[in-house]
Homo-oligomer: A and B are copies of this chain.
């Protein structure tokens, strides 16, 4: 756990006045080049100081021979040196009061013998110098709110999101970023924890828990010796701020592979899952479900119960969604008699089966009738969340704005499963998501979004009752 002073220093590093790139280079294929490029491409507006003993400029930026020559505050350093030089540089970082260092080098605990000792030396040097160390063996960190891309992956992220990510693996973290971008979900902070020589899951979680701009936290874990303290903290945090956990290592095969990665045993997947369940943590199986859960939790209001109502223009997709939800433990209760009567009124003499999920194909796809059915379902006291399933069709407008209004009017979340793609569908998605309706393109992703809302809603109700 971090002290208040450490938390404050870490926040300064995430919102730095100046960033130094130790080991900046002109060679395009090396990480020292990509780190500097990431800062530039990412749109960071603070000061950037490339450090190299001989170069004069790189990518148009003036290069400093060492930190001593900078002469202005450096709150964050990205160290792109080898595993031994990275240790040596920490005294210099301490001397100039650098708050945190991102150490990208590998060759520490993940390689086993020899690496363990080096990692201990790195941690000692960091402690001696009061430098909060991210990594080693990390892609880096991102604070999209200030355009800070302190990784060796030169991409510009959209800004303004509420979801922050802690990831043991940079590669899996990149998957999370890509999937979030594809889903129209903006991220806030992203932290590649790597080997966690100093900053571990619990400290990083503690920081994000106290970060007022973060409202949902995603964590990808391969394995850790300090699982219990993380889980206890996560359970505490998630009373207010949802924490979604993805744990790797479901099989013996992958546990063998993880052992030589970030230097940690994956541990028994089953034990982790039992502990997550015991503490009421939301656990997801893969990147798509992680992003789907975070999207729902970031956008939609929480339901005040677990009753899911479903409105669909085609029974097949609703059957798949019922399957996916039932497997997650969620239920599709029958509608009340009053709701059934209201629905029957709409269909009059058209042959239709009145039930939940409601197949509204026979209503003829007209928008007005569709919204009346949605309104009737949302009015049902046993229904706490409406799922609207849709198939894109050029001759039918999807009433995104009207559904947003209905969700607000009934103070109940709506989740959209929408089959289709292209510009028209992207516009629907934007209208929905801006209005608090998470919008999904696959059955499984919609199910995870719905399940996450029901799960977190139940936690809030339990807290309120207790």
Contacts and interface: CB of A to CB of B under 8 A. Distances in A.
B323 A174 contact: no
A167 B320 CA distance: 13
Contact of A326 (B115, B254, B443): B254
Contact of A317 (B33, B110, B112, B175): B175
Contact of A323 (B107, B249, B325): B249
Interface in A257-314: 257-258, 260-262, 266, 286-288, 312-314
Nearest to A359: B261
- Tallying the copies of this chain within the complex gives 2
Interface in A131-174: 153-155, 167-174
A42 interface: no
A389 B322 CA distance: 34
Given A106-B351, A174-B391, A394-B154, A254 B319 contact: yes
A106 to B, nearest CB: 7
21 contacts: A34-B395, A37-B394, A111-B352, A154-B395, A171-B312, A171-B389, A171-B391, A175-B443, A181-B421, A220-B316, A248-B323, A249-B323, A252-B326, A253-B322, A253-B323, A253-B326, A254-B326, A257-B355, A258-B319, A260-B353, A287-B442
Given A106-B361, A153-B393, A323-B251, A261 B316 contact: yes
A463 interface: no
A318 to B, nearest CB: 6
Given A320-B286, A395-B29, A395-B34, A315 B261 contact: yes
A410 to B, nearest CB: 24
**Which of A248, A251, A315, A393 counts the most chain B CB atoms within 10 A?**
A315
Contacts of A110: 315, 353
Given A33-B395, A288-B444, A261 B319 contact: yes
Contacts of A366: 29
A29 B394 CA distance: 10
A223 to B, nearest CB: 10
Nearest to A366: B29
A420 interface: yes
B178 A420 contact: yes
Contacts of A351: 83, 106-107, 111, 114-115
Interface string A428-449: 0000000000000111100000
A226 interface: no
Nearest to A175: B419
Interface in A1-41: 28-30, 33-34, 37
A286 B323 CA distance: 10
A317 B441 CA distance: 23
Most buried by B among A106, A115, A179, A322: A322
A37 B395 CA distance: 10
Nearest to A313: B171
Contacts of A253: 322-323, 325-326, 331-332
